[in-house]
């Protein structure tokens, strides 16, 4: 791990425990084991460290489709891949996506930081809502719109479907993030959510 990468790692850990405002550049430098002057050779400010963390978070989120075995960036192909799965396949895929969020240590720390700081920083509030709410709902709505067009779902407002699908997942992530010992409990609830979603929205005539 390079010094720059270590700065990012230690900064995110501190941001997720002490908060962004509660963490100084000196705190980060001490955690890395370097002098503050050395840290400034890699980053001009704490804000630049934070912005780099946000970019890395976005990169990890964009890497979700390949992890799940989906065609990244191709909505029609993703809709077709989802549509061809049976209920067992959808449960498996949903588990993969859920565990991707739950177990990725970088995402977990970012989530904790954003949850903690959203009430203190308008900027972090916007970033948190954009990454974990707005972009997720938009992605799901576009996917479900295409799946409906291909005949996999009954004709319902895709945004309503997206909220119906994502809200319980968001709740489970919020509830069980940081509690790996309760992973199986979370997955059982997730399975039930997927089954209920399919019961309501799946096109029986497909």
**CATH 1.10.10.60 boundaries in the chain:** 1-49
CATH-assigned architecture of domain 63-201: Orthogonal Bundle (1.10)
Residue of 165 and 12 predicted with greater confidence: 12
Percentage of residues of the chain with pLDDT beyond 90: 39
Residues 6+ apart with CB under 8 A from 122: none
pLDDT at 127 over 80: yes
> Residue range 25-54: average pLDDT?
94
Which residue intervals of 104-157 are DSSP H helices? 105-117, 122-129, 135-149
**CATH 1.10.357 boundaries in the chain:** 63-201
Q: What is the pLDDT of residue 66?
A: 54
Q: What is the pLDDT of residue 193?
A: 92
Q: What is the pLDDT of residue 124?
A: 87
pLDDT at 69 over 70: no
Q: What is the pLDDT of residue 24?
A: 94
- Token match 């460290």: residue? 49
The helix (run of H) or strand (run of E) holding residue 8 is helix 3-18
Check the CA dihedral 34-38-41-46 and report its sign: positive
pLDDT at 106 over 80: yes
**Which of 46-50, 77-81, 98-102 comes out lowest in average pLDDT?**
77-81
Contacts 24+ apart (CB under 8 A), 113-116: 113/12, 113/15, 113/16, 113/19, 113/20, 115/174, 116/16, 116/19
Q: What are 194's two structure tokens?
A: 């997927």
- The model's pTM: 0.77
Q: What is the pLDDT of residue 187?
A: 93
User: 72: pLDDT confidence band, cut at 50, 70 and 90?
Assistant: low
Q: How far apart, in whole angstroms, are the C-alpha atoms of residue 14 and residue 22?
A: 9
Q: How far apart, in whole angstroms, are the C-alpha atoms of residue 128 and residue 120?
A: 12
How does pLDDT run across 174-192, given as a tens digit for each residue?
888 877 788 899 999 999 9
Question: What is the fold, at CATH topology level, of the domain defined by 1-49?
Answer: Arc Repressor Mutant, subunit A (1.10.10)
């Amino acid at each position: 791990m390079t010094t720059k990468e270590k700065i990012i790692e230690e900064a995110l850990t501190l941001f997720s425990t002490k908060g962004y405002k509660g963490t100084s550049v000196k705190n980060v430098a001490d955690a890395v084991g370097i002098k503050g002057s050395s840290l400034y050779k890699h980053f001009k400010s704490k804000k630049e460290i934070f912005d780099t963390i946000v970019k890395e978070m976005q990169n990890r989120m964009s890497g979700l489709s390949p992890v799940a075995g989906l065609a990244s960036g191709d909505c029609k192909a993703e809709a077709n891949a989802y549509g061809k799965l049976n209920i067992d396949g959808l449960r498996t895929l949903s588990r993969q996506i859920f565990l991707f969020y739950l177990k990725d240590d970088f995402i977990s720390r970012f989530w904790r930081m954003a949850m903690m700081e959203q009430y203190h920083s308008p900027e972090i509030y916007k970033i948190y809502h954009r990454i974990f709410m707005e972009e997720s709902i938009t992605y799901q709505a576009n996917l479900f719109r295409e799946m409906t067009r291909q005949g996999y779902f009954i004709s319902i407002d895709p945004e309503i479907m997206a909220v119906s699908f994502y809200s319980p997942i968001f709740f489970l992530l919020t509830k069980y993030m940081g509690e790996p010992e309760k992973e199986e409990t979370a997955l059982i609830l997730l399975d039930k959510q997927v089954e209920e979603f399919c019961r309501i929205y799946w096109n029986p005539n497909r």
